[in-house]
């Protein structure tokens, strides 16, 4: 029954695994996976699942997600087909499935400053808004004008100042059933070469300092106030520490990477040890930045 319904409202699969849909390459089988093509299909899917009490997870690029190995018996809704954008003077309308680096490059070529800070973050725009993602002292809260969401079977716009943005947090953490559909971002006209040079410099710095050649979920921990998580991790001697195929990166110790067939249990074993030892030595509670799901 579920399969038949979902097949009528999007591209349906029953052979997907989280390990193939997340950047850290971990996670088990997904019972039902669907990619709607438009808001009408999305609304029908979400309404059906809510009415029938069927759990679901909305997925973008899976770049900030740690998933367990057990089968997920709910529905994963991918917004990868929500990938359109439209530039209009001082703003850009962008759907949730657009990859941030791609949009940053497009805007740069048009001479628009907006997403330079996010040009190296391998996530979709919906995920970046959800996390209030940021880098180089910039974040989504600086550029979001308003967000289109699906709430209680209705589409509505929320103004930027209604989103409760703070460090790596938004209102969507408190309302997990709201679905980010699209957004309008503020644009500033600048010299194209200056924007592209800045983005190239930041990409070079990322390559030099981060393990971009290995599967990861990005930074594992939020930076504490007046400090850096990687310094605390170095301070407890965990740079290079490993559990099975998962290890703390030698290149950047706030990255936990998958060196083979790593699992969420391996990842979380390391993360929890780091939290305990940092708390014991420094009296600081490190907060995980990555999202855990089905763990």
Q: Comparing C-alpha atoms, which of 189, 104, 176 is closest to residue 140?
A: 104
Task: Catalogue the active-site residues.
Answer: 168, 219, 289
CB atoms within 10 A of CB 33: 24
The residue written with tokens 């400053």 in the block is 113
């Amino acid at each position: 029954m579920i399969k038949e319904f979902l097949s009528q409202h999007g591209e349906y699969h029953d052979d997907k695994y989280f390990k193939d849909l997340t950047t850290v390459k971990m996670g088990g089988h997904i019972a039902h996976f669907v990619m709607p093509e438009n808001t009408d299909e999305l609304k029908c899917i979400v309404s059906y699942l809510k009415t029938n009490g069927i759990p679901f997870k909305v997925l973008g690029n899976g770049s900030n997600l740690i998933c367990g190995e057990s089968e997920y018996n709910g529905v994963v809704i991918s917004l990868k087909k929500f990938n359109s954008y439209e530039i209009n003077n001082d703003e850009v309308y962008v759907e949730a499935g657009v990859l941030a680096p791609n949009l940053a490059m497009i805007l740069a070529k048009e001479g628009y400053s907006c997403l330079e800070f996010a040009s190296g973050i391998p996530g979709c725009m919906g995920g970046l808004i959800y996390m209030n993602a940021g880098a180089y002292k910039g974040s989504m809260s600086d550029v979001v004008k308003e967000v289109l969401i699906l709430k209680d079977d209705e589409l509505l716009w929320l103004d930027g100042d209604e989103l409760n943005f703070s460090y790596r947090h938004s209102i969507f953490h408190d309302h997990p059933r709201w679905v980010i559909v699209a957004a309008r971002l503020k644009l500033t006209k600048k010299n194209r070469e200056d924007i592209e040079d800045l983005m190239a410099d930041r990409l070079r710095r990322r390559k030099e300092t981060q393990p971009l050649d290995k599967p990861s979920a990005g930074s594992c921990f939020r930076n504490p106030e007046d400090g850096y998580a990687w310094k605390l991790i170095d301070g407890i001697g965990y740079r290079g520490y490993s559990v099975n195929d998962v290890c703390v990166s030698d290149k950047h110790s706030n990255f936990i990477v998958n060196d083979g067939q790593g699992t969420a249990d391996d990842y979380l074993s390391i993360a929890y040890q780091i939290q305990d030892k940092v708390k014991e030595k420094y009296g600081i509670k490190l907060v995980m930045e990555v999202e855990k799901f089905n763990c």
